[in-house]
Amino acid sequence: MSERSERGMGEHDLVIRGGLVVDGTGAAPKHADVAVTNGIITAVEPRISGRGAREIAADGLTITPGFVDIHTHFDGQATWDGVLAPSSIHGVTSLVMGNCGVGFAPAKPSQQQHDWLINLLEGVEDIPGTALAEGLAWDWESFPDYLDALDRRNFAVDIATQVAHAPLRVYVMGERGADPNEQPTADELAAMADHVRAGIDAGALGFTTSRTYLHRTKDGAPLGTRHSSADELIALAGTLRDAGTGVIQLISDAYLSADEVFATEEMALMRAIAKATGRPLSMTVQQPESVPDRWREIQAWVGDCVAEGLSLKTQVASRPIGVLQGLTASVNPLVTCPSFKEIAPLPLPQLVIALQDPQRRTRIIAEHAASLPNLEGILAELVGGFHKLYPMEDPVNYEPSPADSIEGRAKAKGVRPIELLLDLLVERDGNQLLYMPLMNYVAGNLDDVREMLVSPVALMGLSDAGAHCGAISDGSMTTTSLALWTRDRTRGEKLPLELMVHHITQRTAAHVGWLDRGVLAPGYLADINVIDMASLAAHPPSIVRDLPAGGRRLMQTATGYRHTFKGGVETFTDGEHTGALPAGLVRGPQPLATPR
């Protein structure tokens, strides 16, 4: 693609010409020009006659709205980082934080409470505590204070956040708030409700909570929100009803538990919250191996609730939720082996050398085999699940076949899986990562995920961008949504480009009340991606140490994003940040803008 040389005065600030426009509504793609003036789209027509002060020839390229990610955890990082990669690298121009009931506000001005909140996010979301301790300025106490702190910063993407239940409980109830068996007094519940309402009035997008055993602090303690009563949840979420605005987001064990009675009770609770508040509610839904069809039951139940007039949605992912393993990651299959533990603290170059020592390899192979019978649960999967552990390739294959697994490759080579594993771990100077799908991959393919995505009650979510810094890298899910599902899939049916663009633009934006973005049409914000679909790809994640205090995180880049515009300002060119930070905090829902 070439950019035209004309940069003089024009009728429009920007005209992107001749691209395939996928407008975000789900309508069929069409070739058209897109014009922008004063940060607003002013025309989308087959041929725009007026000139632009800047013109881009997009022949052979695809033009989409900027992507809207409603499930991230940049709550800490946004207080020191304006770029918010990897999301911004993958076409995201608006994002929502404060999900799953965790965050950093409100927070009393005490070291004890600050330490507890850091411990909370380090445990639940695998964000390095040392990075949070150094990076967080704590120039807030109340939730409105936190919004004001964010509002003082500039970003490459628009951000918004929600009132999170876990920090609110501890702020009002003290240490009792961190205990899931403690219930608030009437006065405490009233105080918490006042804080939620104050947050909504100040511009929070909604209220979020967690009801899963998966979420624990760094010390292994369950969140205080896990067993919150219906009275507590309805009282807090009910403030949104009174305000007439806001969404509710939660994660529950309903999709994880094999207990039918428990799952039914949890779904009844969610229905009660939605009915009592009248506000849109979305819940995490994934497919675990233990109950592979529960997601289907929940999705059907949500459909029934919608038919009754309730506003419920499932939040689903466009690919497996998987853990990354390797020498630079938080975990790898050798963690139970004493001969590996001896060398694990070594600098990476020395660790690679030590792992290539024949005698040590022999000991590790024997220790690994001896440890397997004594393991159970998730640790048994991580250490011994070679049948579903895959080397990450470039570009990443998020629908690998059994033959692609370490077990499958080892069989083809005539070696034991542990031997192949040891060879792989030292590749790329020890930076090779391995991918283990834990959710959404029971059948070894993505057919079930496809069924989730075609449901009218499904929302694209669960990228968890900003979290799981050493184990999960799903902030690139927008790229997978387009590259895999509309172009690359070979092991099943693809999905239409217009559906997948709709999933990550208008559908997510409209759910949180952002009616001013997610569509390429006159009057909408000029949040735009110009994409080379032929080269669009997510590359393997790698560990970088760019967090405060040298904290590590997984970074995943992409190719194919030729231009990304936020409000008409180019923020990324060919995957590189332009230095522009034209965005900021978005307070509350946004009506459709008018052409200017």
Of the chain, the percentage scoring pLDDT greater than 70 comes to 98
pLDDT tens by residue, 423-467: 999 999 999 999 999 999 999 999 999 999 999 999 999 999 999
Given a cut of 70, is residue 307 above it in pLDDT?
Answer: yes
Given a cut of 50, is residue 527 above it in pLDDT?
Answer: yes
pLDDT level of residue 593 (50, 70, 90 thresholds): low
Give pLDDT, residue 381: 94
How confident is the prediction for the chain on average, in pLDDT?
96
Q: Are the C-beta atoms of residues 62 and 531 closer than 8 Å to each other?
A: yes
Where, residue-wise, is CATH 3.20.20.140 in the chain?
68-320+442-511
506: helix, strand or coil: helix
Locate tokens 């991230």: which residue?
72
CA separation for the pair 588, 246 (Å, rounded): 7
**What six digits make up the tokens of 582?**
């034209």
Is the backbone peptide bond immediately before 288 cis, with ω within 30 degrees of 0?
no
pLDDT tens by residue, 313-337: 999 999 999 999 999 999 999 999 9
Q: How many CB atoms lie within 10 A of CB 221?
A: 14
Cα 587 off chain centre by: 20
Q: What is the mean pLDDT of the segment spanning 195-212? A: 98
Strands 92-96 and 67-69 turn out to be parallel
Q: Are the C-beta atoms of residues 156 and 83 closer than 8 Å to each other?
A: yes
Strands (E), 267-414: 281-284, 312-316, 321-325, 390-391
In one letter, which amino acid is 132? L
Max Cα distance, the chain (Å) = 74
Q: What is the mean pLDDT of the segment spanning 57-77? A: 98
pLDDT level of residue 158 (50, 70, 90 thresholds): very high
Q: What is the mean pLDDT of the segment spanning 402-417? A: 98
Give pLDDT, residue 218: 87
Give pLDDT, residue 306: 98
Task: List own/partner pairs for 189-194 with CB under 8 A and 24 or more apart.
Answer: 189/231, 189/232, 189/235, 189/236, 192/168, 192/232, 192/235, 192/236, 193/235, 193/236, 193/238, 193/239
Within 13 Å, how many C-alpha atoms sit on residue 590's CB side?
A: 21
Given a cut of 60, is residue 2 above it in pLDDT?
Answer: no
**What six digits make up the tokens of 224?**
């205080």
DSSP 8-class letter at 52: E
Of 322, 465, 450, nearest in space to 388 by CA? 322
Cα dihedral value 492, 496, 501, 506, nearest 10: -120
Is the backbone peptide bond immediately before 106 cis, with ω within 30 degrees of 0?
yes
Instruction: Please list, in sequence order, all residues whose beta carbon lies within 8 angstroms of the beta carbon of residue 396, skipping any fewer than 6 positions away.
Output: 435, 537, 538, 539, 540
Give pLDDT, residue 126: 86
Q: What's the N-to-C CA distance of the chain in angstroms? A: 29
144: helix, strand or coil: helix
Given a cut of 80, is residue 103 above it in pLDDT?
Answer: yes
Of 39, 14, 37, nearest in space to 584 by CA? 39
Locate tokens 């409100």: which residue?
106
**What six digits make up the tokens of 182?**
């403690």
CA separation for the pair 165, 227 (Å, rounded): 12
Helices (H), 126-246: 129-135, 143-151, 165-173, 186-202, 230-243
Helix (H) or strand (E) holding 115: helix 111-125
pLDDT level of residue 389 (50, 70, 90 thresholds): very high
Given a cut of 80, is residue 6 above it in pLDDT?
Answer: no
> How far are the Cα atoms of 86, 399, 469, 495, 556 from residue 541, in angstroms, in the given order?
10, 16, 11, 25, 4
Cα 153 off chain centre by: 22
Q: Are the C-beta atoms of residues 16 and 530 closer than 8 Å to each other?
A: yes
CA separation for the pair 441, 382 (Å, rounded): 15
Q: Are the C-beta atoms of residues 578 and 568 closer than 8 Å to each other?
A: no
Given a cut of 90, is residue 3 above it in pLDDT?
Answer: no
pLDDT tens by residue, 109-131: 999 999 999 999 998 888 999 99
Of 100, 172, 161, 87, nearest in space to 585 by CA? 161
Q: Estimate the share of the chain in helix, then strand, then coil, as percent rounded to the nearest 5.
A: 35, 20, 40
Given a cut of 60, is residue 145 above it in pLDDT?
Answer: yes
Q: Are the C-beta atoms of residues 312 and 281 closer than 8 Å to each other?
A: yes
CATH topology of domain 68-320+442-511: TIM Barrel (3.20.20)
Supply the pTM of this predicted model: 0.95
